Amino acid sequence: MASRKHRVVIVGGGFGGLAAAKALDGADAEVVLIDRRNHHLFQPLLYQVATAALSPSEVAWPIRHLLRRQKNVRVLMATVVGIDTAGRAVLLEDGTSERYDSLVLATGAQHAYFGHDAWEAFAPGLKTVEDATAIRRKLLLALEAAERETDAERRKALLTFAIIGAGPTGVEMAGAIIELAHASIRGQFNTLSTGDLRVVLIEGGERVLANFVPELSAYTLDALRRKGVEVELGQSVTDIDGEGVSFGESRIETKTIIWAAGVAASPVAKWLGVDGDRAGRVKVEPDLSVPSLPGVYVIGDVASISRYDGKPVPGVAPAAKQAGRHVAKVIRARIDGRSEVLPFHYKHDGDLATIGKSSAVIDFGWIKLKGWFAWWIWGLAHIYFLVETRTRIFITLSWLWIYLTGQRGSRLITHGDAHKTRPLDEVNEE
Amino acid sequence: MASRKHRVVIVGGGFGGLAAAKALDGADAEVVLIDRRNHHLFQPLLYQVATAALSPSEVAWPIRHLLRRQKNVRVLMATVVGIDTAGRAVLLEDGTSERYDSLVLATGAQHAYFGHDAWEAFAPGLKTVEDATAIRRKLLLALEAAERETDAERRKALLTFAIIGAGPTGVEMAGAIIELAHASIRGQFNTLSTGDLRVVLIEGGERVLANFVPELSAYTLDALRRKGVEVELGQSVTDIDGEGVSFGESRIETKTIIWAAGVAASPVAKWLGVDGDRAGRVKVEPDLSVPSLPGVYVIGDVASISRYDGKPVPGVAPAAKQAGRHVAKVIRARIDGRSEVLPFHYKHDGDLATIGKSSAVIDFGWIKLKGWFAWWIWGLAHIYFLVETRTRIFITLSWLWIYLTGQRGSRLITHGDAHKTRPLDEVNEE
């Protein structure tokens, strides 16, 4: 019998899955990367799509395109519905399956509403391109509706924007929304007053950017307030509906609420028949394999990995990429028949977050930066990390244009349904 | 009683409505421009969004942005449901109304399926940004599904694309689709063969680009065939369903059909309570006013205007723009109390269509061009006619990138619904 090639199936084309596929370039294996979407998404800049600064094709690229030069990989656009761990096959929605010798699960996280799933309808989160264009539509429609509203109270509610959760996404959204709204009201909605505008950032913990050092959290809080963002700390949200959000003793009337508070892992634990942690993540061995399932690896936001210092590996892009590259090394060792355990060591390069134009915070550990200099470093770092030359050029130009003219390039209100224009009011209520 | 300002309401922010609003800059009037969308769309390049060359924000701009420097205009995003001609008011969906002294109706056309409305579900047309992203999704999903299809016949059907109607849109779509599919198969779908690819352009008349001179039609037919497009002339479509299209004695199995065959005017005639022609257009007086409705003007694709030479004014962007500027002149005369009739004279500047990379036809009347030189003129003319500097830069770069690398920048498959990924098969069947 002719020996057949080692077959690696990777589920998920995010930072982790893509890094694993790339690091297997040239390996003596047949690699299959499965994703239910055709594109890899550069999540760190997705909030800029939601706030009309960038267009979707500037932060997302077809996975096939990114892997086009790699001979040993096949890209499959398909939805995974389960895993047959005994038969070593990934089950697809269309009834077919993909056999594996090694399996890498890198399916990432979704928003989680802590048991309040009904809130999702009123407070969308930001994970996909569609989420971003839906939030963009909500933001721009609120301004349009405010322009037509004759009742002063209702107009104020339309000009109030609430963001829940003050991690990097919440902070970046709050800063970008207040800038978008200010620029729009001044430039295009002459009948509206910036005095009616409220952007409220609600956080359950005692500081913003809790994963940064307190000094940078304090700077960020101050920078947000100087921009006009109201920051409510130590406030747990108790209710969200179509008219506003309640927290602690307070209530804010608003038509636009954005959820940046929590995520849960995709259902990998269920697929594998193992226990997940509270956030649904799978606890893995030091080499990222799943206990008692040899050849099955879990990486990225869906994995629970402890560092040697006892801290968990954070759910950020660099961690997913490092884990993807590591798992490729482990699989190459398997293919070569080597059986030593290769433990994963996470190297934390630093934390970055932008607060708005000319304001950002960076913590590289050995140096901490804030203000306009950090903002420029932030921009350059993100352009550097983009995976494609064309996008580097286009995003640089988009940012330069906004910087020089203040005009955001992508303020389109588009709907999902083709052939049908949904009326304004109906859209507002969705 | 203080004299109040003349109030001009313009319905529709396309080429005609926008030109009318701009030509009223500085007029002693209160101008209100109403559109149910927030953006003006540069229709001539929409097919490039559908074929992944450009992104939506490169061909559409917020109407507010385009009119931001004009003091006497207010932009209203709202849906018109009727007109009270006796009370001189435009009725909006939210129950409010906008009073007018002069009314300009420039609401454009929609696809028409000649009594076969059921065909729309299988053969979408190309009129809006959403239509374009839906067609882009269909094209790219067909390639993805073909990649997974093991049955040779079904794979061929997935790699067959039919375009109905060989006017400029149909010709441009056919050329762009075959280039997109060729480049995708060669670069990204190694398991597919370009030999299985079919692009079929079906036309009821006896030649393509019937509004051009026969010489250029013949050139276009030849250029399409050299590219590999099958052109079926003199063929009436008799049926369209989820599995294919029937015409004459023939039947083509295909999952992707695009409608570029016919349009009908929006329901302006009904709103006004007047008779429309067969395509629903309103017959107007030489000054573009509606007979027996003083102060009401109809322009663009929704108007039926005869030229002094007896030919109808074509439904193209330059005609709508000229009519918009003319109607502004007529309204300015009304405001000044002048009552002479100002007849509209349409000046036909020429016809342009592109057949694909390095191939286009241009008929300026005094000169006819074809081939690569016409293609460059076509590109420069379209960049010139774009309404915004930022977009000029970005489209020039996008085209340059495609020209040099062959890579289309916007190959994203996105769905309408946020928070939900529809499975591949469900989407294919929609």
Residues of A in contact with B76 (CB under 8 A): 147-148
pLDDT in the model for residue B371: 93
Say yes or no for a CB contact (<8 Å) between B414 and A56. yes
Q: How far apart are CA A252 and CA A231, in angstroms?
A: 13
Bridge partners, residue A146, by sequence: none
CA A176 to chain centre: 16
Model confidence over B13-34: pLDDT tens digits? 999 999 999 999 999 999 999 9
Catalogue the active-site residues of B. 172
The interface residues of chain A toward chain B in range 84-103, judged by CB-CB distance below 8 A, are 93-94, 96
Shortest Cα distance from B246 to chain A (angstroms)? Answer: 23
Average pLDDT over chain A, rounded to whole? 91
pLDDT in the model for residue A416: 56
Residues of B in contact with A62 (CB under 8 A): 188, 411-412
Token pair of B229 as six digits: 């497009």
Q: How far apart are CA A318 and CA A364, in angstroms?
A: 13
Q: Kindly state whether B140 is in contact with chain A, defined as any CB-CB distance less than 8 angstroms.
A: yes
User: How far from A227 is each of A54, A202, A212, B181, B248, CA to CA, in Å?
Assistant: 21, 16, 20, 48, 66
Q: Kindly state whether B154 is in contact with chain A, defined as any CB-CB distance less than 8 angstroms.
A: no
- How does residue B416 score in pLDDT terms, banded at 50, 70 and 90? low
Secondary structure letter of residue B425 according to DSSP:
H
Say yes or no for a CB contact (<8 Å) between B412 and A57. yes
Locus of tokens 């269909």: B138
Start and end residues for every CATH 3.50.50.100 domain found in chain A: 117-261+350-412
CA nearest to A300, candidates A68, A168, A110: A110
Percent of chain B predicted with pLDDT > 90: 75
| A253 contacts A160 by C-beta, under 8 angstroms | yes
Q: How far apart are CA B181 and CA B224, in angstroms?
A: 15
CA B27 to chain centre: 30
| B188 contacts B135 by C-beta, under 8 angstroms | no
Total Cβ atoms within 10 A of residue A365: 10
Residue of A nearest to B404 (CA): A390
- How does residue B4 score in pLDDT terms, banded at 50, 70 and 90? confident
Say yes or no for a CB contact (<8 Å) between B65 and A188. yes
Nearest 5°: the CA angle A384, A390, A395 is 60
Residue of B nearest to A122 (CA): B419
pLDDT tens string for chain A (430 positions)?
456 899 999 999 999 999 999 999 999 999 999 999 999 999 999 999 999 999 999 999 999 999 999 999 999 999 999 999 999 999 999 999 999 999 999 999 988 898 899 999 999 999 999 999 999 999 999 999 999 899 999 999 999 999 999 999 999 999 999 999 999 998 888 889 999 999 999 999 999 999 899 999 999 999 999 999 999 999 999 999 999 999 989 999 999 999 999 888 889 999 999 999 988 899 999 999 999 999 999 999 999 998 877 788 988 999 999 999 999 999 999 999 998 889 999 998 889 999 988 899 999 888 999 999 999 999 999 998 887 888 888 888 888 888 888 888 778 888 754 333 333 333 332 2
CB nearest to B130's CB, from A57, A409, A417? A417
Give the HSE-up count for residue A172: Cα atoms under 13 Å, Cβ half-sphere.
23
Catalytic residue among A30, A58, A172, A179: A172
Residue of B nearest to A425 (CA): B94
Own/partner long-range contacts of A424-428 (Cβ < 8 Å, ≥24 apart): A424/A141, A424/A144, A424/A145, A424/B36, A424/B77, A424/B78, A424/B79, A424/B93, A424/B94, A425/B93, A425/B94, A427/A137, A427/A141, A428/A141, A428/A142, A428/A145, A428/A255
Say yes or no for a CB contact (<8 Å) between A394 and B390. no
CB nearest to B407's CB, from A129, A188, A390? A390
Residues of B in contact with A147 (CB under 8 A): 76-77
Say yes or no for a CB contact (<8 Å) between B412 and A39. yes
Whether residue B428 has pLDDT greater than 70: no
Q: How far apart are CA B160 and CA B245, in angstroms?
A: 11
Handedness of CA B109, B114, B120, B122 (dihedral sign): negative
Start and end residues for every CATH 3.50.50.60 domain found in chain A: 6-36+78-111+263-335
Residue B202 in 3-state DSSP? strand
SS (H, E, C) B69-129: CCCCEEEEECCEEEEECCCCEEEECCCCEEECCEEEECCCEEECCCCCHHHHHCCCCCCCH
Considering the segment(s) A117-261+350-412 as one domain, its CATH architecture is 3-Layer(bba) Sandwich (3.50)
CATH code reported for the domain at B117-261+350-415: 3.50.50.100
The answer for residues whose C-beta is within 8 angstroms of residue A318's C-beta and 6 or more apart is A348, A349
Token pair of A174 as six digits: 């709050």
Own/partner long-range contacts of B356-362 (Cβ < 8 Å, ≥24 apart): B356/B175, B356/B176, B356/B178, B356/B179, B356/B223, B356/B227, B357/B179, B357/B403, B359/B175, B359/B223, B359/B227, B361/B209, B361/B212, B361/B216, B361/B219, B361/B220
One DSSP character per residue, A207-232 reads SSSTTS-HHHHHHHHHHHHHHTEEEE
Residue of B nearest to A401 (CA): B390
Residue B196 φ/ψ, nearest 5 degrees: -85, -5
Which amino acid belongs to residue A25? D
Residues of A in contact with B129 (CB under 8 A): 412, 414
Model confidence over A123-144: pLDDT tens digits? 999 999 999 999 999 999 999 9
Total Cβ atoms within 10 A of residue A40: 25
Residue of A nearest to B130 (CA): A418
ipTM: 0.85
| B272 contacts B292 by C-beta, under 8 angstroms | no
CA dihedral B296, B298, B302, B308 (to 10 degrees): 140
User: How far from A112 is each of A100, A115, A316, B71, CA to CA, in Å?
Assistant: 31, 8, 17, 46
Q: Kindly state whether A392 is in contact with chain B, defined as any CB-CB distance less than 8 angstroms.
A: no
Bridge partners, residue A199, by sequence: A161, A229
Locus of tokens 């680009």: B209
Whether residue B404 has pLDDT greater than 90: no
Residue B31 in 3-state DSSP? strand
CB nearest to B411's CB, from A65, A415, A425? A65
The interface residues of chain B toward chain A in range 117-136, judged by CB-CB distance below 8 A, are 120, 124-125, 128-131, 133-135
Model confidence over A245-256: pLDDT tens digits? 999 899 999 999
Q: Kindly state whether A72 is in contact with chain B, defined as any CB-CB distance less than 8 angstroms.
A: no
| B237 contacts B202 by C-beta, under 8 angstroms | yes
Q: Kindly state whether B267 is in contact with chain A, defined as any CB-CB distance less than 8 angstroms.
A: no
Mutating which of B61, B64, B70, B427 best tests the A interface, going by the most A Cβ atoms within 10 A? Answer: B64
| B215 contacts B368 by C-beta, under 8 angstroms | yes
Model confidence over B346-389: pLDDT tens digits? 998 889 999 988 899 999 888 999 999 999 999 999 998 887 88
Q: How far apart are CA B46 and CA B136, in angstroms?
A: 11
Are β-strands B351-356 and B359-363 bridged in parallel, bridged antiparallel, or unpaired? antiparallel
Q: Kindly state whether A417 is in contact with chain B, defined as any CB-CB distance less than 8 angstroms.
A: yes
Shortest Cα distance from A150 to chain B (angstroms)? Answer: 11
Q: Kindly state whether A389 is in contact with chain B, defined as any CB-CB distance less than 8 angstroms.
A: no
Residues of B in contact with A408 (CB under 8 A): none
Say yes or no for a CB contact (<8 Å) between A77 and B144. yes
Model confidence over B228-282: pLDDT tens digits? 999 999 999 999 999 999 998 999 999 999 999 988 888 999 999 999 998 889 9
Say yes or no for a CB contact (<8 Å) between A120 and B419. yes
Q: How far apart are CA A10 and CA A104, in angstroms?
A: 5
Say yes or no for a CB contact (<8 Å) between B36 and A187. no
Model confidence over B101-143: pLDDT tens digits? 999 999 999 888 988 999 999 999 999 999 999 999 999 999 9
Q: Kindly state whether A413 is in contact with chain B, defined as any CB-CB distance less than 8 angstroms.
A: yes
Say yes or no for a CB contact (<8 Å) between B424 and A120. no
Say yes or no for a CB contact (<8 Å) between B144 and A56. no
User: How far from A170 is each of A18, A200, A214, A261, B394, CA to CA, in Å?
Assistant: 26, 10, 17, 8, 30
Whether residue B153 has pLDDT greater than 90: yes
Does the domain formed by A6-36+78-111+263-335 have CATH 3.30.565.10?
Answer: no
Q: Kindly state whether A300 is in contact with chain B, defined as any CB-CB distance less than 8 angstroms.
A: no
Q: How far apart are CA A362 and CA A212, in angstroms?
A: 9
Say yes or no for a CB contact (<8 Å) between B417 and A133. no
One DSSP character per residue, A319-382 reads HHHHHHHHHHHHHHHHHTT-------------EEEEEETTEEEEE-SS-EEEEHHHHHHHHHHH
pLDDT in the model for residue A1: 45
Say yes or no for a CB contact (<8 Å) between B38 and A413. yes
Say yes or no for a CB contact (<8 Å) between A407 and B413. no
Average pLDDT over chain B, rounded to whole? 91
Q: How far apart are CA A253 and CA A240, in angstroms?
A: 10
Residues of A in contact with B128 (CB under 8 A): 418, 421
Total Cβ atoms within 10 A of residue A151: 9
CA nearest to A90, candidates A9, A7, A5: A9
User: How far from A245 is each of A207, A242, A259, CA to CA, in Å?
Assistant: 20, 9, 11
Q: Kindly state whether B425 is in contact with chain A, defined as any CB-CB distance less than 8 angstroms.
A: yes
Residue of A nearest to B67 (CA): A188
Model confidence over B273-293: pLDDT tens digits? 999 998 889 999 999 999 999
Percent of chain B predicted with pLDDT > 70: 96
pLDDT in the model for residue A204: 95
Q: How far apart are CA A184 and CA A282, in angstroms?
A: 44
One DSSP character per residue, A102-130 reads EEEE---EEE--TT-GGGGGTS----SHH
Say yes or no for a CB contact (<8 Å) between B397 and A394. yes
The interface residues of chain B toward chain A in range 23-42, judged by CB-CB distance below 8 A, are 36-39
| A212 contacts A184 by C-beta, under 8 angstroms | no
| B80 contacts B92 by C-beta, under 8 angstroms | yes
Residues of A in contact with B147 (CB under 8 A): 76-77
